[in-house]
Amino acid sequence: MGKRNLYLKTIPVEEAQALYQDALKAIAVRRTEKIPVEESLGRMTAKAIYARCCSPLFNAAAMDGIAVIAKETAGATQENPLTLVRGKDYQIVDTGDPVHPPYDAVIMAEDLLEAEEDVVQIMEAASGWQHVRPIGEDIVAGEMLLPGGHKIRPIDIGVLLSGGILEVDVIKRPRVGLIPTGTEIIEPDKEPGEGDIIESNSRMFAAMTINYGGIPHRYAPVEDDYDKIKDAIKKAHEENDIVVVNAGSSAGTEDYTVHILREMGEVLVHGVAIKPGKPVILSIVDGKPVIGLPGYPVSAYIDFENFVRPVMDKMSGERHYAGHTVKAVLSKRLVSSLKHREYVRVKVGKVGDKLIASPLARGAGAAMSLVRADGFCVIDQNSEGVEAGETVEVELYRDIEEIEHTVVSIGSHDLILDFLADLMPLSYPGTFLSSTHVGSMAGLMALKRGETHIAPTHLLDEETGVYNVSYLKKLFPGKCMALIKGVKRIQGIIVQKGNPKGIRGIEDLTRVTYVNRQRGAGTRVLLDYRLKTAGIRPEEIDGYDKEAATHMAVAALVKNGGADAGMGIYSAAHAMDLDFIPVGEEEYDFAIEQESLELEEIKKFLEVLKSSAFAQKAREAGGYDISHAGEVARL
Amino acid sequence: MGKRNLYLKTIPVEEAQALYQDALKAIAVRRTEKIPVEESLGRMTAKAIYARCCSPLFNAAAMDGIAVIAKETAGATQENPLTLVRGKDYQIVDTGDPVHPPYDAVIMAEDLLEAEEDVVQIMEAASGWQHVRPIGEDIVAGEMLLPGGHKIRPIDIGVLLSGGILEVDVIKRPRVGLIPTGTEIIEPDKEPGEGDIIESNSRMFAAMTINYGGIPHRYAPVEDDYDKIKDAIKKAHEENDIVVVNAGSSAGTEDYTVHILREMGEVLVHGVAIKPGKPVILSIVDGKPVIGLPGYPVSAYIDFENFVRPVMDKMSGERHYAGHTVKAVLSKRLVSSLKHREYVRVKVGKVGDKLIASPLARGAGAAMSLVRADGFCVIDQNSEGVEAGETVEVELYRDIEEIEHTVVSIGSHDLILDFLADLMPLSYPGTFLSSTHVGSMAGLMALKRGETHIAPTHLLDEETGVYNVSYLKKLFPGKCMALIKGVKRIQGIIVQKGNPKGIRGIEDLTRVTYVNRQRGAGTRVLLDYRLKTAGIRPEEIDGYDKEAATHMAVAALVKNGGADAGMGIYSAAHAMDLDFIPVGEEEYDFAIEQESLELEEIKKFLEVLKSSAFAQKAREAGGYDISHAGEVARL
C-alpha cells in the first residue's frame, strides 16, 4: 500500500470551534474602511455615526397654506373673521417651504376664505408653531444616527444623507482565497472523461462567501502535487485574509494538505466528530487562518458553515446564523452514532398547524439532497438518534414564508411532479410544490399521519381492477377523502436502445438482469401482480432485490448497463433515450383529505394541473393521458 | 392663491393595488436572459433546468482501499483468509477513483492485512457494489435539477455545474428609473442653505430596488418645471421598465406630476387611503408603469413598499414579503382613523416569552423613527385603533434573531444609552441594545408590566435625598429588584453660548423662555423640586408647558433660539456647543428584576458598562462620574 497518514482522530465540534476561535483571537480582527454612504447598503458600521446637520434644516411649513404671526391672529372667529393681507400679514407657503421670522405658524389652505386678490379671511386664530416642522424635528445635529455594528439598510442611507453624512466607516469585508486541488478535478467548461470530477465546490464556496459578506478569490485547480499545492497556498495566503484548501484534507495516499500546513504553520485540528464532514483541517499559517475542507459537496458545505463562516464573522463583525431555527415533528426514525454530531438533511413542510421534517439521503456525496432539503436536523454527538413523532429543532436554510406556501407531496414518483414543481412558482409566484418519493403505500401512510397535503398513488385493486379508490376507503375509514385525478400513464419494461436482449414481456425477465423498485412502490405492486399472473416466482429474477427509488434511477441503471431491464413509466425511458415495452396503463392520482381542498395552495395546484402549460409538458414527455387531470372525485 | 389641484380623493389600499395590478397584467411581464451559472447567485430560474450529465460520471470508489471482483472474494473468513494479488485480483483505489470492470466492489484499507509487497489478505467476502458510488448516484443525466421560479443558492450553483450546466435562463431584473424633483432639492455633496432639502429619497429607493432584485437608475434632481419634469420622465421611460417620480405627487401649486402623467398616459389612481403616504400616483405611460411618490421620507418608504415593490415582483417573478410577520403585545394604546390604513412604526423587544411592540413617532417626516423602529404595526382602515395589551401583527423589517438578542431599555434618556448601543454589537457581535425614551416613571411602569429588561431611572426621593431605591421598593412590593449602577451625572441649565441672558440659576428662569421635559421625566421632577424649594410657581415660567422628549431635543431648541433655557445634562450641552449652569449631581441607574440578571445579554450589557471603551466615551462626553458603573445593588 502507498503512504497513508495516520487515521484521523476526531474531536467534538464545539471543542474544535472554540479551540480555533481562541487561537485566532489576536489574529482574525476587524479592519475598517471609509466608503461613500451611497455604496454602503448591507455594510456594517465600524463605529457610531453622528449627524452633521439638522433635518429639517430650517423651520418648515408642514402644510400648504399661509405663514402667519400667531399672536396677530388672536380673536378670529366664525362670526368675526379676521382679514389678512399678503406680504404684510401672511406669506403663501407650500409644504416644505421655510417659515421665516416674524412668521411662526401656518394656516392650511382649506381653512382660508379668499376675499380678493392677495387678501384672505380666517375664522380661527392660529396657535404658535402650528403646522410648522421645527428645525431638527427629525434629526438633531450631533445626535447619534446609527450605532456601531449596525448593518446599513435603505432607510439608514436616507437618514445619513439627510444628516449631512457622505461617507461612513464600515468594517472591511474579509477576502477568502479558495484553492481547488486534485488531479481528477477539471474546470466546468472542459468536457469530462472517465475519472474526472467537475470542479464545483469552489464556486459554491464563492457564493457562500458572498452571502456571508466576504469577497471570494477563486484560484485555478491544482493537481495533487506537494510543491504545487504549497505554492498555491503561499500565493493565496499573500492575497487574502482567509485561505480554504479543498480537498486533500483526509488521510489518504494523496492527501498532502495536512503535511503542507504542518510545514508552513500550525495545525490545530485535523478531524472533527461531525458527519458528514469529518476530515477538516484548522490551521494558522503566519498569522492567517488556513482551512482544509473535504471534497464531497455535502461535507464541504457543512464544514464551510461550521468552520469558515465563524472565522468570517469574526473578521466582519457580522453574525450569520446557520439558519432560522424552527421546531418540527420528525416523520421518520433517525439513528445516529455517538461518534459524531450528524447533520441530517430534511425537507420541511407545513401541514395543518404542524411543521413536519422528513429526512433525506444521508450520504456525503448526495449534493442533490442538499438542493432538495429545506434544512438540517442536527443530532447531537451524545444522542443515539430521534424517534419518529418527536419534536426536533431544524436549522432552515429556506425561507419559512416559502415553506408556509408549499404544497407537500409524499408518495409515488412520476416525472409530472417535476413539471408541477416547475409550473407552480412560475404560475403563482411565491407558491411551491415539494415532493418526496417513497412509493404509493408509504405516501398514503404519511397522509394518514398528517405529514403531507397530497399523496400521489397508483395502487391497483387486483379484485376490481380499479385504481386507488379501495385503498383510500380501507386506510381512511370514516374520513372524507378525495382523489385529485392526475394522469393515466403507460407502465412498461425499460430496456437498452435497440432492445439487444430481445425482451418482449414479463416472461423474459427471468433470463436478464433486472432492477426493481422499493417495497410499497406501485410499480413493484404491478410487477408482483404480473409475475403472479405469469406464474413466475420472484427468486427466478436476477436483481429482484436490487432497488432504485425513482423511475429515472431505474432508467439510469439500464442506460449505464447496471441492469438489462427495469419496470417504469414511458416518460422516463423517453427522457433517457431508451426503448420501452408497454405492459399496461394505470391511473396516477393524488389522494387528499377533502378539507384540504379549501387551501389556497391546493386550489393553485389544481389550476396548474388543468393548465395548458402542464398539458404541453405532458405531451412532450409522452406516454400520458391527461384528459381528467385536475378533476376532483370525492369518495 | 396659486393654482391648486382638486384635493385628493382617496381609495383603499387593496383597491388601489388590485386596480393597478390588473391594469399592468399584460404590460409588466417577466423577461428572461441567459447568464453563466457562476454569476447566478440569488437570481430566479426562468424555467426548469435538467442535468446534462451524471454525477458521479463513472462508478467511483467511496472509500480508500482496493477494488475487487465481488464474487471472487466469496468464502473469505477470519479463519480462512483469502489472498489477493495486485493487478490480478485487485487494484488500489482512493476515494473518488473509477472502479473499472471487471472490478465491482471496494474493500476498505482498514480491513486489509498486508501479506507482502502487492499481496493482501481479506477476512470477509465483499458484496457486489459495496463502497462503490454508482454512476449517477447523486445526479442522473436528464433529471430536473431545479424547477422554474427558484432562487439560486450556493448549493444550487454546485449541482448545476456538477450536472454539466454552464449557463442558466433566469428572469431579468427590472430596471427602475428614479427621478427626484423639486426646486428645493440639492444633491448631498452640496452645502445646504436655508430652504434647501438634501436629496436622499432616490438613494433610499435605489437601495430598496437592489434589495428587491432590481437595477436602479438614479437621475439628477429636476426643478419644479412642467417641461423639465416631462422631459426627465420621457428619458427615464425610454431607459427603464418602471419609473418613479418623487415628489410633486400631491395637489399643491407646484405639484405638476399628476398633470404631466395625465398628459403622457393614464392616471389610474391619485390618492390612497394610507397613512403616511396618501398622495401616491399610479399611472401607465405607453405600456410602462410610472409611479409618483410623496416627498416625506416615511411616506416615500411606505409607498415604495406598497406600490413599487409589487410591480417589481410582477416583473421579477420574486415574492418579497413586506417583512416577517410576528405577533406582539402592544404596549400603548393606538388610536387611528377610519379614513385610512395606518402604518405605525414600532420597536419590538423580546422580554421573557413575549414580544412587545412599542409605538414610535407617527409623523410622515420622522425618518429617524423608521431607523429606530423594528417594524410596522398596520392598523386596518376599518379599525379605530388598538388597545394597550392587545396582541397585534407586526411586519418586522429587522431580523427576529437580532430582536431575540437585544436588551430592551425603556425609561429615562441619557447620551450614555447611545454609547452603550454603539458598544454592545461591536463588543459582542449579534447582541444589541434598543432604547426608548419615555422618562423615568414611565420606564418603571413598563418594567412592572414586563415590557422591558431594564428601566433607566434617576428619581430623587425628596425626603431621604437618595436616588431610585425608594421608588423601586414602593412600585415593586414583594419583587426581588436590583439596581445596575450607571453614572452620576451633572444636571443643569442649558443656555446659549456665552449665556447672553445672564442666567445664574433656577430663580432666573422666570424672566426667560424655557423648554421643559415631558411629565414623568426625572429632569422635570428635579426642576419641580428646585422650583418648590425656591418658592417659584410653574405658571411663572414662560414655556413650562413646552415639552421636549430628550436632553438633545432640549439642547437643539436652545441652540436654534426656540427657547433661552432648558434643564438637561452636561453632555448634551457639550455635544451642541452650548453653555451650562450646573444645578446638581444625580444618580442615573438601571432598574431591573433580579432574575433578569441571569440573561446572557444582560451579562454582556454589564461587561460593556464596566469596559474601558465605555469609560473613554463617557470621559469625552464630560459631566459623568462612572466609578460605580456596572455594579449591581440587590434591593
Instruction: In whole angstroms, give the CA distance from residue B368 to residue A158.
Output: 9
In a domain, B588, yes or no: yes
Nearest chain B Cα distance for residue A66, angstroms:
10
Is B83 within 8 Å of B174 (Cβ atoms)? no
| Interchain CB distance below 8 Å, B252 and A64 | yes
State mean pLDDT over B600-618.
96
Give yes or no for B567 touching A (CB within 8 A).
no
| Interchain CB distance below 8 Å, A400 and B62 | no
Instruction: In whole angstroms, give the CA distance from residue A321 to residue A326.
Output: 13
| In a shared domain, residues B453 and B592 | yes
Residues A288, A290, A295, CA angle at the centre, nearest 5°?
165
| In a shared domain, residues A476 and A389 | no
Nearest CA to A1 out of A257, A256, A254 is that of A254
The three cell numbers locating residue B64: 480508500
Nearest chain B Cα distance for residue A368, angstroms:
6
Instruction: In whole angstroms, give the CA distance from residue B270 to residue B34.
Output: 38
Nearest chain A Cα distance for residue B461, angstroms:
31
| In a shared domain, residues A503 and A586 | yes
Instruction: In whole angstroms, give the CA distance from residue B256 to residue B242.
Output: 19
Q: What is the CATH number of the domain that holds B378?
A: 2.40.340.10
Q: Say which of A155, A188, A556 has its CB closest to residue B140.
A: A556
Ramachandran assignment for B65, one of left (phi > 0), alpha (psi -120 to 50 degrees), beta (any other): left
For chain A, the residue count is: 635
| In a shared domain, residues A191 and A158 | no
Highest mean pLDDT among A15-29, A168-182, B72-86, B335-349: A168-182
The three cell numbers locating residue A401: 414564508
Instruction: In whole angstroms, give the CA distance from residue B308 to residue B289.
Output: 9
Residues above pLDDT 90, as percent of chain A: 68
Q: Say which of A140, A295, A365 has its CB closest to residue B138.
A: A365
Answer with the residue of higher pLDDT: A96 or B340: B340
| In a shared domain, residues A146 and A67 | no
| In a shared domain, residues A630 and A520 | yes
Name the 3-class secondary structure at B201: helix
Name the 3-class secondary structure at A502: coil
| Interchain CB distance below 8 Å, B552 and A208 | no
Q: Which of A264-273, A407-416, B318-327 has the lowest mean pLDDT?
A: B318-327
Instruction: Examine the fold and report which residue of A293, A316, A339 is the final residue of a domain before the chain moves on.
Output: A316
Give yes or no for B594 touching A (CB within 8 A).
no
* B416: closest chain A residue by CA: A144
Instruction: In whole angstroms, give the CA distance from residue A389 to residue A382.
Output: 20
pLDDT at residue A6 tops 60: no
| Interchain CB distance below 8 Å, B200 and A162 | yes
Nearest CA to B361 out of A55, A138, A147 is that of A138
Which residues in chain B have their CB less than 8 angstroms from residue A38's CB? 203, 206
Question: Across all residues in chain A, what is the average pLDDT?
Answer: 91
Cα-flanking dihedrals φ and ψ of residue B407, to 5°? -80, 125
Q: Say what the ipTM of the complex is.
A: 0.89
Is A396 within 8 Å of A325 (Cβ atoms)? yes
Give yes or no for B52 touching A (CB within 8 A).
no
Is A474 within 8 Å of A464 (Cβ atoms)? no
| Interchain CB distance below 8 Å, B297 and A156 | no
Q: Say which of B97, B204, B556 has its CB closest to residue A154.
A: B204
- Residue where the block lists cell 432560522: A324
Q: Say which of B92, B147, B198 has its CB closest to residue A2.
A: B92
Residues A88, A92, A94, CA angle at the centre, nearest 5°?
155
Q: Where are the alpha helices (DSSP H) in A292-414?
A: 297-303, 309-316, 367-372, 400-404
Is A614 within 8 Å of A423 (Cβ atoms)? yes
Is B50 within 8 Å of B145 (Cβ atoms)? yes
Residues paired with residue B582 on neighbouring β-strands, in sequence order: B492
Instruction: In whole angstroms, give the CA distance from residue B506 to residue B519.
Output: 19
In a domain, B423, yes or no: no
| In a shared domain, residues B524 and B486 | yes
State the virtual CA torsion across B314, B318, B320, B321 in degrees, nearest 10.
90
Is B170 within 8 Å of B40 (Cβ atoms)? yes
Which residues in chain B have their CB less than 8 angstroms from residue A141's CB? 556, 576
* Chain segment A545-576, per-residue pLDDT in tens: 888 878 888 998 898 788 999 999 998 898 88
| In a shared domain, residues B465 and B545 | yes
Is A321 within 8 Å of A362 (Cβ atoms)? no
Q: Say which of A200, A432, A562 has its CB closest to residue B162.
A: A200
Burial of A382 (0-12, 13-18, 19+ CB in 10 A): exposed
Answer with the residue of higher pLDDT: A501 or B388: A501
Q: Give the 3-state DSSP-derived string for A471-488, with helices as H, strands as E and coil as C.
A: HHHHHCCCCCEEEEEEEE
The three cell numbers locating residue A333: 426514525
Ramachandran assignment for A164, one of left (phi > 0), alpha (psi -120 to 50 degrees), beta (any other): left
Q: Say which of A95, A120, A562 has its CB closest to residue B252.
A: A95
Instruction: Examine the fold and report which residue of A151, A171, A191 is the final residue of a domain before the chain moves on.
Output: A171
Name the 3-class secondary structure at B485: strand
CB-CB neighbours of B569 under 10 Å: 31
| In a shared domain, residues A17 and A68 | no
In a domain, B1, yes or no: no
Tally of helices (H runs) and strands (E runs) in chain A: 17, 38
CB-CB neighbours of B617 under 10 Å: 21
Instruction: In whole angstroms, give the CA distance from residue A115 to residue A119.
Output: 6
Give yes or no for A158 touching B (CB within 8 A).
yes
In chain A, residues 344-403 whose CB comes closer than 8 Å to chain B: 363, 365-368, 370-371, 397, 400-401
| Interchain CB distance below 8 Å, A161 and B198 | yes
Burial of A98 (0-12, 13-18, 19+ CB in 10 A): buried
Residues paired with residue A376 on neighbouring β-strands, in sequence order: A345, A395
Q: What is the CATH number of the domain that holds B523?
A: 3.40.190.290
Q: Say which of A55, A142, A198 has its CB closest to residue B576.
A: A142
For chain B, the residue count is: 635
Which residues in chain B have their CB less than 8 angstroms from residue A114's CB? 1
| Best B7, B31, B64, B303 residue to mutate vs chain A (most A CBs within 10 Å) | B64
Give yes or no for B557 touching A (CB within 8 A).
yes
CB-CB neighbours of B36 under 10 Å: 11
In chain A, residues 506-535 whose CB comes closer than 8 Å to chain B: none
State mean pLDDT over A58-83.
90
| Interchain CB distance below 8 Å, A319 and B426 | no
| Interchain CB distance below 8 Å, A324 and B401 | yes
| Interchain CB distance below 8 Å, A368 and B150 | no
* A195: closest chain B residue by CA: B98
Give yes or no for B92 touching A (CB within 8 A).
yes
Give yes or no for A210 touching B (CB within 8 A).
yes
A34-37 CB contacts, 8 Å cutoff, 24+ apart? A34/A167, A34/A168, A34/A169, A34/A170, A35/A167, A35/A168, A35/A170, A36/A166, A36/A167, A37/A157, A37/A160, A37/A161, A37/A165, A37/A166, A37/A167, A37/A168, A37/B188, A37/B203
In a domain, B428, yes or no: no
First to last CA, chain A: 66
pLDDT at residue B16 tops 60: yes
Which residues in chain A have their CB less than 8 angstroms from residue B553's CB? 136, 140
Band the pLDDT of B5: cuts 50, 70, 90.
Answer: very low
Q: Say which of A153, A208, A553 has its CB closest to residue B140.
A: A553
State mean pLDDT over B394-413.
91
| In a shared domain, residues B129 and B142 | no
Answer with the residue of higher pLDDT: B525 or B172: B172
Band the pLDDT of A8: cuts 50, 70, 90.
Answer: low
Q: What is the pLDDT of residue A83?
A: 93
Q: Where are the alpha helices (DSSP H) in A64-111?
A: none
* Chain segment A509-518, per-residue pLDDT in tens: 999 999 999 8
Nearest chain A Cα distance for residue B248, angstroms:
10
Instruction: Examine the fold and report which residue of A133, A158, A189 is the final residue of a domain before the chain moves on.
Output: A133
| Interchain CB distance below 8 Å, A195 and B98 | yes
Element (H, E) at A146: strand A144-146
Half-sphere exposure of A352 (CA within 13 A, CB side): 13
| Interchain CB distance below 8 Å, A149 and B426 | yes
* A2: closest chain B residue by CA: B92
First to last CA, chain B: 66
In a domain, A230, yes or no: yes
| Interchain CB distance below 8 Å, A200 and B556 | no
| Interchain CB distance below 8 Å, A159 and B430 | no
| In a shared domain, residues A302 and A236 | yes
Residues above pLDDT 90, as percent of chain B: 68
State mean pLDDT over B445-451.
93
| In a shared domain, residues B155 and B214 | no
* Chain segment A169-183, per-residue pLDDT in tens: 999 999 999 999 998
Number of domains present in the structure of chain B: 5
* B365: closest chain A residue by CA: A138
In a domain, B414, yes or no: no
Q: What is the CATH number of the domain that holds A39?
A: 3.90.105.10
Nearest chain B Cα distance for residue A138, angstroms:
5
**Structural domain of residue B154, as residue ranges?**
32-55+138-171
In a domain, B381, yes or no: yes
Cα-flanking dihedrals φ and ψ of residue B581, to 5°? -110, 110
Q: What is the pLDDT of residue B322?
A: 63
| Interchain CB distance below 8 Å, B133 and A56 | no
Nearest CA to B547 out of B527, B520, B518, B568 is that of B518
Q: What is the pLDDT of residue B300?
A: 96
Q: What is the pLDDT of residue B3?
A: 42
Q: What is this structure's pTM?
A: 0.90
Q: What is the CATH number of the domain that holds B121?
A: 2.170.190.11
In chain B, residues 112-151 whose CB comes closer than 8 Å to chain A: 112, 114, 120, 133-150
Residues paired with residue B484 on neighbouring β-strands, in sequence order: B590, B632
Cis bond leading into B247, ω under 30°? Answer: yes
Instruction: In whole angstroms, give the CA distance from residue B490 to residue B585.
Output: 4
Q: What is the pLDDT of residue A322?
A: 63
How many CB pairs lie under 8 A apart between chains A and B?
Answer: 331
Give yes or no for A254 touching B (CB within 8 A).
yes
Q: Say which of A148, A166, A397 has its CB closest to residue B189.
A: A166
- Residue where the block lists cell 400521489: A456
Tally of helices (H runs) and strands (E runs) in chain B: 17, 38
| Interchain CB distance below 8 Å, B366 and A137 | yes
Give yes or no for B186 touching A (CB within 8 A).
no
State the virtual CA torsion across A187, A192, A197, A203 in degrees, nearest 10.
30
Nearest chain B Cα distance for residue A359, angstroms:
16
Nearest CA to B215 out of B228, B223, B206, B203 is that of B206
* A317: closest chain B residue by CA: B429
CB-CB neighbours of B207 under 10 Å: 23
Q: Which of A213-227, A230-244, A439-453, B5-19 has the lowest mean pLDDT?
A: B5-19
Burial of B500 (0-12, 13-18, 19+ CB in 10 A): exposed
Q: Which one-letter DSSP state was computed for residue A9?
A: P
In a domain, A602, yes or no: yes
Element (H, E) at A523: helix A522-534
Give yes or no for A598 touching B (CB within 8 A).
no
Nearest CA to B319 out of A598, A424, A43, A374 is that of A424
Instruction: In whole angstroms, give the CA distance from residue A105 to residue B212.
Output: 41
pLDDT at residue B507 tops 50: yes
Q: What is the pLDDT of residue B4?
A: 43
Give yes or no for B203 touching A (CB within 8 A).
yes
State mean pLDDT over A586-598.
96
